Chain A
Amino acid sequence: MSNLTKSIVWILIKRNYKFWTCLSIVLFIIMLALLGPYSTPYKPNDVVTPRLPPQSSHPFGTDNLGYDVFSASVYGLRVSLMVGFVAAVVATTVGVTLGLIAGLKGGIVDSIIDSITNILIAIPTVFIMIIVGTFYVTGAGAGTARELLNMIFIGTTIGLLMWHWTARAVRSQVIALKTSDYVAVSILSGNSSFKVLIKDILPNIASYILLVFVIQLANGLATSVTLEFLGIKASEWSLFARVMQWLQMGALIAHVWWAWLIPGALIVMLIASLYIIVLALDEVFNPRLRRI
C-alpha cells in the first residue's frame, strides 16, 4: 500500500463514527469478560436468593435457580468468546492457507479443495458439531485445564467446519491478483513463487483477510451460543447453557426476564457490532464504496 492510500484510509476511518461506536462496544464487552470476574464476589455456581430483580448487590439480578446473573454472564462470556475466537482463528488459518494454495496452484489441488467446499456447503454441518460435542466432550469444572481444552476443542470443530468461506473468498482474490501485471513482472524478474506470495499477493489481500476474519468471528460466536442453548457446552456455565433449564422451570411465566435478556442483549450487541465494523471497514478499504 502506498503512503497516499494509507492516508486516505486513515482519513476515512477517522470520520467513520459507525466504526468507532461499534469498536468501543466490542472492546467494552471483551473487557467485561476479562475483568468482570474480578469485580464480583460470586462464582457462577454460587447459589443465592432466586428471582431477585437487578439491584446494587446483584447488578443483573439473580435467575430462577438462584445464580447471580452478572457473574454467570461474565464467566459465560469468557467461554463463548473463547470458543468463537478459536473458531475464527482456525477457520482463518486453514481457509487462508488452502485459499492461497488453490488460487496459486490451480489444477487438481484446486478441484479437491473445491469439492470439499461444495460438500461443506451442501450438508448441515451443525449436526457434525452436535455429534462431536455430545460424544467427544466431557464436563469440567471452572478454570480447570479440562475446561480450557473443551473450549479449544469445540472452537476447533466449529472452525474446521467453516473455513471454506474464507478459502473461497481468498481464492477468488488471489486468482484476480495472479493475472495482474505487477505480479507478472515480479515472476519475470526471477522471484520464487513463495516470494511472490509473501511480497506481492499477501500485503494486497491483508485488509480483505481481516474483514473475513471479523465475519468469521461473528459467525463463530453465533454458532457457539446456539450450540450452548442446544446443550453442547464447553463448560457448565456457558452463557446460555441454563436457558433450557429456566424454560422448563417457567422462567418466562415468572417474568424473570433479566436472566436471559441481559446476557442476550450483550451477545447481540457484540455480534451486530462486529458485522457493522465489517461494513464500515468495507466502505474504507473498498474504493467503489468510498464516499469522499
Chain B
Amino acid sequence: MPLATYIFKRLIIYLIVFVVAVTIIWALIRFAPGDPALTSVLRAMIAPGVRYTPEQIEVFKQRAIEMLGLNLPLHEQYILFWRKLLIGDLGWSTYFTAPVTQKLNEIIVYDIILITPATITSWFLGNWLGSLAARKKVLDKVLIPIIYVLTATPYFLLGLLMAYIFGVVYGIFKPVITSTDIKMLFTNPSLDALVNFLKAYTLPFLSLVLVAMGGWASGMRTLMIYELESNYARYMESIGLSDRLIASYAFRYAINPQITGLGIQLGTVIIGGLALSGIFNYPGAGITLIYAINYRDVFLIQGIAIYYTLMVILANFIIDLVYILVDPRLRLGLVGV
C-alpha cells in the first residue's frame, strides 16, 4: 500500500473515532438523570439570594429549554450540538462564569507544557532502563521491585509524597503552585521568573516522569527478554558477536510495540497527569476538573472531555507518523496494515 493511502486511511479512522467518542459524551450527558444541562443553565440564569415565584421559575425553565434546544426532536438536538461544537461553542461554565471554550483554551496550554515533555522523557528513560535490566542480571534484581512499585503507584499518591518530602520537609520546591509561577516565564521572562518556574514545575514533572517510566521499563524488559532468547539472537551469540551488538539488534525489534504502546497508554498518562496536577494545584485542567466534578459543572466536564479526546486522538495520529519513520517496512510500503 502506498504511503499516502496509508496515512489517509489512518486519518479517516481517527475522524470516525472522534465522532463516536463525542457522540458517546453527548448521549451520556443528554440522558443523565435529573437533566444536569438544564439545571446548570437554570443555575446560571437565576440570581442567588433572590426569591422567585413558581411561575417565574417556570418561565426561566422554558427559556432554558429553548436555549438548549431541548424542545427540538432528538436528532435535531444532536445536529445542533455538532453545529455549536464546530464553531467552538461548548456552553457556559457555572464554575468560572465564563464560556467553556475561552477558559479551556487558556488552561490546556499549561497541560501541554507539562504532559508532553514528561511523557516523552519517561518513554525514553523507561525504555533505556528496561533494556538495560533485561541484559544485566544484577541490575534486574534491583530494578524489578522499584519498577513494579512505581507502576503500581497511582500518580496522585506519588505526587503527594514528592510534594511532602521536597516541598514541605526539605522545602526545595514549591508544594503548592500558583498560576503566576508558570505564567511569569512566558509573559515576563527573566532569571527570577525562570527560577520560580523551575521551583514550581519540577515536582509535577518529576512525579509524572517517575510513575510513567515504570510502565515503559517493565514493558521493555519483557520485550527484550523475548527478543534476546529468539533464534537470531542465539545465532549471533553463537558466532561470537558482542552482547552490545546483539542488544542493539534486539532493541530495534523491541522498540516497535513500545511506540504503538505510547498511543495506547496515553489515556492513562493523561488522567494521571490530571490527578497529579490537582495535587500541586498546577494551573491546568486537573484542578479545574476536580472543581467541575464537585460543582457538577456539566458543560465544563463535557468541554474538558472533548478537548482531551481530541488531543489524545491527535497525539495518536502523530505517533502513527513517527511509527512510519521508525519502521522501514511501513515506510517502504512493504506491508499493508
Q: Tell me whether A268 and B17 are in contact in the complex, defined as CB-CB below 8 angstroms, given that A128-B25, A255-B168 are known contacts.
A: no
Contact A122 B316 (CB under 8 A): yes
Contact B294 A231 (CB under 8 A): yes
A264 to chain B, nearest CB (A): 4
Contact B160 A123 (CB under 8 A): no
Contact B167 A252 (CB under 8 A): yes
- Which of B152, B163, B279 is A222 in contact with, Cβ under 8 Å? B152
A263 to chain B, nearest CB (A): 9
What total of chain A residues lie within 8 Å of the partner, measured CB to CB?
46
A282 to chain B, nearest CB (A): 9
Contact A230 B275 (CB under 8 A): yes
The total of interchain contacts (Cβ-Cβ below 8 angstroms) comes to: 143
Interface SS of chain B: helix
Question: Binary interface profile of A, 193-235, with partner B (CB < 8 Å = 1, else 0)?
Answer: 0000000000000000000000000100010011001111000
- Which of B20, B155, B160, B271 is A124 in contact with, Cβ under 8 Å? B271
- Which of A125, A127, A253 is B168 in contact with, Cβ under 8 Å? A253
Contact A131 B29 (CB under 8 A): yes
- Which of B152, B266, B302, B308 is A272 in contact with, Cβ under 8 Å? B152
B213 to chain A, nearest CB (A): 15
Closest to A123 in B: B21
Closest to B149 in A: A272
- Which of A123, A225, A231 is B290 in contact with, Cβ under 8 Å? A231
Residues of the A chain whose Cβ atoms lie less than 8 Å from the Cβ of B272: 226
B198 to chain A, nearest CB (A): 20
**Chain B, interface size: which category?**
35 or more
A101 contacts chain B at the CB level, 8 A cutoff: no
Q: Tell me whether A124 and B267 are in contact in the complex, defined as CB-CB below 8 angstroms, given that A135-B32, A135-B33, A229-B154 are known contacts.
A: yes
The A-contacting residues of B in range 141-160, CB under 8 angstroms, are 144-145, 148-149, 151-157, 160
A175 contacts chain B at the CB level, 8 A cutoff: no
Of residues B168, B225, B226, B316, which shows the largest number of chain A Cβ atoms within 10 Å of its Cβ? B168
A187 contacts chain B at the CB level, 8 A cutoff: no
Please give the residue numbers on chain A whose beta carbons come within 8 Å of chain B beta carbons, in ascending order. 118-119, 121-128, 130-136, 218, 222, 225-226, 229-232, 240, 243-244, 247, 252-253, 255, 257, 260-261, 264, 267-268, 271-272, 274-276, 279, 288-289
Apart from A124-B266, A130-B301, A253-B168, list 6 A-B contacts with CB within 8 A.
A124-B270, A125-B267, A135-B36, A229-B156, A260-B160, A275-B152
21 A-B contact pairs sorted by A residue (CB < 8 Å): A122-B17, A123-B309, A128-B28, A130-B293, A131-B25, A131-B305, A133-B293, A134-B296, A135-B34, A136-B33, A218-B152, A230-B278, A231-B293, A244-B278, A268-B153, A272-B151, A272-B152, A275-B148, A275-B152, A276-B145, A279-B144
